[in-house]
Structure 1
Amino acid sequence: MRHSNKSKKILALFLVLMLGFIIFLTVMLYTALHDRDIPSIFSEDTAKAQRGSIISADGFNIATTQKLYKAVVNTRNIDPDKEELFIQLFSIYSAIEPNEIRQRLHTRKGSVTLSYHISPKEAMYLKTLSFELRRLGVFIEYETPNGDRILQGLNIIESGEARSYPYGNLLTPLLGYPRKMEEDGYTRVYGIKGLEKFFDEELNPQQNRTQKALRDVNGYLILNKQSDVKRQINGLTVKLNIPITLQARVEAVTDRIKEQLKADEIIATVMDSKTGKIIALASSNRFDPSHIRTADYPSLNTNAIEYSFEPGSVVKPIIFSLLLDRGLINPYDMVNGHNGRFTMGRKTIVDEHAFHMISAEDVIVHSSNIGIAQLAQKLNGEEFTEGLKRFGFTHFSGIDLPYEKRGSIPSSAQLNNYLYKAITSYGYGMRSNAMQMIKAYNVFN
């Protein structure tokens, strides 16, 4: 009887041990086969590359990019007993009024954005503050319904970039303006007009910085040979041929002349005759690219190339040179001035100054419509058309700006007609932009 009881006890103990072993194997198998939330021993850090700058010939920053940051805090992580300490310290570091911070913290429970427009310098200080607040125990863990314990604290996050124009409306509308676009929660800047548009691809950032490496217990990266690092490649810097000092003086002249003439717009261009470089391109109609108003809309186009016009009498020296080049006239040939009024077919041509006879050279000196209309008859239609094209009319000027309007000239067939020749010889019936005109006149230089 005693032996039977002892056998039963041994059997029971064996069964208990077997059951425990089976449970242990089951747990181990489950753990091995199912995904687990194991904290990664690796950490990753990224930084957005920036749009390039535009600088003047004399080294001044005309357009630059500034990174923007936002400050985000989880209200559940703030110790209620130390909330006022957080508010006062954040106010000192961010220059935001305490009442405004307090109001934002109490709008909702959870993640709250305290500011969207933090400069890089402020972001650096606030990151230091975040570390100090953790050290002071301002942030505490909270438990989610799933049982997870969360500690987030104050996070300073890159939110986008803003374009800065330190000199206001200087160099506009040539400089152009940008537009902001949202990309995965990050605000990027793209050129829409002017130099910002033409060099948009070059100015755009090339590669963001990324660092993936082992982390220490505090989450800081341990950079070594095994780390995966991609360097930050910002957009290229565009350097202009235009110095600020000259540009500012030319713009002042356009402002003064516009007022004197009561004109819609004055455009002034200065070209280096030897190289063809534009060293000033000014308009009296300017705007601040950072703060474009509805009233600025008519000024947004660079009319030096985006607007074509009938050039008028400034074409006369060009027609005169075509005649000289082909040996069709001599500067001392005499032309009948018809006393300032001359009828060609159904067209009556009038001169401001009346002459009976005038030399071919004086046709240019006195800008005689009647004289140049008669001289132009010596050119046939093909000579006329090809001559204007050789001076650059109807061709792109080659300036580094988008949306150029090339203008137009009559066809060779039309310019075989005496009336077309006459009208075109003093700059009507054709169209040009200001940049084409200054390039044509540079031939004489």
Structure 2
Amino acid sequence: MNNKHIKLVSGVFIFFITPLILGLFVLANYYWASSSRNLPRLESSDKSAAVRGSIISEDGYHVANSKKLYKVTIDTRSIDPDKLDLFVKLYSIYANDSEKRVKNLIKKNDGAVVLSYKIDPKAAMHLRELSRELNSKKVFISFVSKDGVTRPPIGMSVLESGESRNYLAKNSMSPFLGYVKKVEVDGITRVKGVKGVEKFYDYYLFASSDELVQGPRDIGNNIILEKDSIKSKKADGYNVILNTPLKFQSKIEKLLAKKAKEYGATEIVVGILDSKNSQVLTLASSNRYNPENITKNDYQALNITATEYPYEPGSVIKPIVFSLVYEKGLVNLNETIKTYNGSYKLGTRTIRDTSPYPELSAIDIVVKSSNIGMIMITSRLDNAELFSGLLNYNLSAKTGIDLPYEQTGNIPSLSALSNRSNKATLGYGYGLQTTFMQILNAFTVFNNDGILTTPRIVNHLEKDGKIYKLNEATSKQVISKKTADAMKFVLTETVNRGTGRKARTKGLEIGGKTGTARVFKDGSYSAVYNSSFFGFMNDQNRSYTMGVLVREPTKGSYYAAQNALPIFKEIIDMMINDGYLTPKHEGNFTQISEEELSRIRD
């Protein structure tokens, strides 16, 4: 074949084959392009966990709040050995961690490992920035897994792991504030209330839903937000706003810790209620704990003595029983009652008064705290009237305070009251059990026109700037206003010239009653006592009711007038200093007019 023919064949071949090759190339590109459109779209998701609501004091302090925690994970096989020290150093700086601990953890693990579960939000943000920087520096490289497959680089991952509960004031406001426990919910560590306000309002504090975002990721591993990317919105828990100010509470707690040591007491409890609405200004104990770090030594302080410890109240019951007799018109304040020179035979026992008198006026039975006089007065009341009257004061029922595990106490049954001895001893505070909160709330009746109102620790809930009222307090008329005024006068007389004289404060209306009772242990009365003082303090615009309980003092006198009463007085002075009470400059005053006083005495 000559050159001419060869050129002709080559030309024909190029003419036909070249378009064919080009056509195949175009078809191939079209196929792959169209096929790629039909590939499934790679979706990814991120979850942003909601957090528990805060507990906020009346004066604006977040005494309990939650913050997110993050965990940091890496795959040790993906770290470039030549850049291990660089990684360890940078991570430890950003996470405020120990280089030695981190390096040892990496060397001991061949594969995925969690470097920390407790990274706070600020550190998490910086660690994510560090992760991007490490990727650009190729600190993480491909590696061959045990099955012989080459795996792509696995970078450092910073993911939400849960939340931590933080208590600003440490042990202040415990035990009523309560504490929490950890629970796992959908792979996230949450916290739930166990005691106190944390438990009672757990339903509202608990975060209700997390935020879920879905969509494709960009080259920086961020989800590309689209119209329907957000699948669920985050709903944090409600904030709980207390009636109690932290600053005032802390001052009282400091005083109680000092006095408990001075008296050698097992515990000292103080509660102050607004007499008109029973809002809790303070509920303090000398026994406290830090909810963030509970130890075995704290176990005895976990229960709230004010609501969970029933005890025999002693003489502080006298005004309550007296009011029931007075309400029925069975006693007059000025009538004379025999007190048998301070010694009275009750069955096989002899009842004695600390200060013996042959007789006392009815008002002085309370003022001078005569057990014998109260036996005489209590006997005038029908058993059913006594029983129902105590029930009406809620002395064998829960007060309804917004705290969990409240105890009801115990009063003698109607059949038990038919026993003369049982009825007599009840009149001066033995043979029944009440809680501190029951007595404290009952005393508000004398300072609130005979009305009993449910005590409240929490004022309201708050979320996104909106206020939500719930669990509203209820009220009921326990005794008439006339009887309440009479008892108010009796209790002010007890302070002015009786067992409560140390509480006198110029310019304020102060009333109250001491109580000292043996503690019943192991089937018999022991040689230890509970001492208490319950009363009220009023200025021209505000009225409060306060209780002080000193449990089992071992140093100095066990009489309430020598330990509970001085604490009561010191706290009144604090309240004046902090502006909760303003004394009149003219001197002592009474809210009862002379006309009303004459009517009461008659």
| TM-score (normalizing by structure 1) | 0.88
2:514 is matched with: none
2:401 is matched with: 399
- In the TM superposition, residue 414 of structure 1 has moved relative to its aligned partner by 2.4
Q: Distance in 2 between matches of 1:90 and 1:217?
A: 23
Q: Distance in 2 between matches of 1:81 and 1:188?
A: 39
- In the TM superposition, residue 197 of structure 1 has moved relative to its aligned partner by 1.2
Alignment of 1:40-79 (within 5 A): 40-79=41-80
8 A Cα contact 1:380 1:416, kept in partner: no
1:267 is matched with: 269
Q: Distance in 1 between matches of 2:231 and 2:377?
A: 73
Q: Mind listing any 5+ residue stretches in structure 2 that lack a counterpart?
A: 1-30, 448-602
8 A Cα contact 1:214 1:227, kept in partner: no
8 A Cα contact 1:384 1:412, kept in partner: no
Q: Distance in 1 between matches of 2:80 and 2:52?
A: 40
1:369 is matched with: 371
Q: Specify the SS of the correspondent of 1:44.
A: strand
Letter of the aligned partner of 2:357 in structure 1?
F
Letter of the aligned partner of 1:125 in structure 2?
H
Q: Distance in 2 between matches of 1:102 and 1:361?
A: 80
Letter of the aligned partner of 1:245 in structure 2?
K
1:95 is matched with: 96
The reply on whether 1:127 has 2:128 as its aligned counterpart is yes
- In the TM superposition, residue 166 of structure 1 has moved relative to its aligned partner by 1.5
2:258 is matched with: 256
8 A Cα contact 1:49 1:206, kept in partner: yes
Q: Distance in 1 between matches of 2:202 and 2:148?
A: 48
Q: Distance in 2 between matches of 1:177 and 1:421?
A: 41
- In the TM superposition, residue 39 of structure 1 has moved relative to its aligned partner by 6.8
Letter of the aligned partner of 2:402 in structure 1?
D
CA-to-aligned-CA distance 1:57-102 (integer Å, 9 cap, x gap): 1110111112222211112222223222212221221222333222
> Structure 1 residues 69 and 217 mapped into 2: Cα distance closer, same or farther (>3 Å)?
closer
1:107 is matched with: 108
Q: Specify the SS of the correspondent of 1:423.
A: helix
Q: Distance in 1 between matches of 2:72 and 2:352?
A: 72
Alignment of 1:293-332 (within 5 A): 293-332=295-334
- In the TM superposition, residue 148 of structure 1 has moved relative to its aligned partner by 5.8
Aligned with residue 190 of structure 2, among 188, 193, 211: 188
Q: Specify the SS of the correspondent of 1:328.
A: coil
8 A Cα contact 1:67 1:162, kept in partner: yes
Letter of the aligned partner of 1:86 in structure 2?
F
Q: Distance in 2 between matches of 1:101 and 1:400?
A: 46
2:591 is matched with: none
CA-to-aligned-CA distance 1:111-158 (integer Å, 9 cap, x gap): 122222211111110000001111111112234436463322101122
8 A Cα contact 1:68 1:120, kept in partner: yes
CA-to-aligned-CA distance 1:266-309 (integer Å, 9 cap, x gap): 10000001111111000010111111111111111001001000
Letter of the aligned partner of 1:177 in structure 2?
Y
The reply on whether 1:223 has 2:225 as its aligned counterpart is yes
8 A Cα contact 2:142 2:150, kept in partner: no
Q: Distance in 2 between matches of 1:439 and 1:398?
A: 10
- In the TM superposition, residue 230 of structure 1 has moved relative to its aligned partner by 1.4
The more displaced of 366-375 and 63-72 is: 63-72
Q: Distance in 2 between matches of 1:39 and 1:106?
A: 39
| TM-score (normalizing by structure 2) | 0.66
Q: Specify the SS of the correspondent of 2:413.
A: coil
Q: Specify the SS of the correspondent of 1:320.
A: helix
Letter of the aligned partner of 1:273 in structure 2?
S
Letter of the aligned partner of 2:300 in structure 1?
P
1:205 is matched with: 207
Q: Distance in 2 between matches of 1:104 and 1:40?
A: 38
Q: Specify the SS of the correspondent of 1:215.
A: coil
Q: Distance in 2 between matches of 1:302 and 1:317?
A: 26
Letter of the aligned partner of 2:59 in structure 1?
D
Aligned-residue identity in percent: 41
Q: Specify the SS of the correspondent of 2:68.
A: strand
8 A Cα contact 2:179 2:198, kept in partner: yes
Q: Distance in 1 between matches of 2:321 and 2:392?
A: 12
CA-to-aligned-CA distance 1:36-73 (integer Å, 9 cap, x gap): xx674322111111111111011101111122222111
2:345 is matched with: 343
Letter of the aligned partner of 1:412 in structure 2?
L
Alignment of 1:115-194 (within 5 A): 115-144=116-145, 145=147, 147=149, 149-194=151-196
> Structure 1 residues 67 and 227 mapped into 2: Cα distance closer, same or farther (>3 Å)?
closer
The more displaced of 187-196 and 350-359 is: 187-196
8 A Cα contact 1:51 1:205, kept in partner: yes
The more displaced of 140-149 and 80-89 is: 140-149
1:416 is matched with: 418
Q: Specify the SS of the correspondent of 2:88.
A: helix
Q: Specify the SS of the correspondent of 1:443.
A: helix
- In the TM superposition, residue 379 of structure 1 has moved relative to its aligned partner by 0.4
CA-to-aligned-CA distance 1:343-400 (integer Å, 9 cap, x gap): 0222321100000111111101100000010111110110000111111211211111
Q: Distance in 2 between matches of 1:309 and 1:336?
A: 30
Q: Mind listing any 5+ residue stretches in structure 1 that lack a counterpart?
A: 1-27, 33-37
8 A Cα contact 2:176 2:304, kept in partner: yes
- In the TM superposition, residue 175 of structure 1 has moved relative to its aligned partner by 1.1
Q: Distance in 1 between matches of 2:185 and 2:209?
A: 15
Q: Distance in 1 between matches of 2:53 and 2:251?
A: 27
Q: Specify the SS of the correspondent of 1:196.
A: helix
Letter of the aligned partner of 1:258 in structure 2?
A
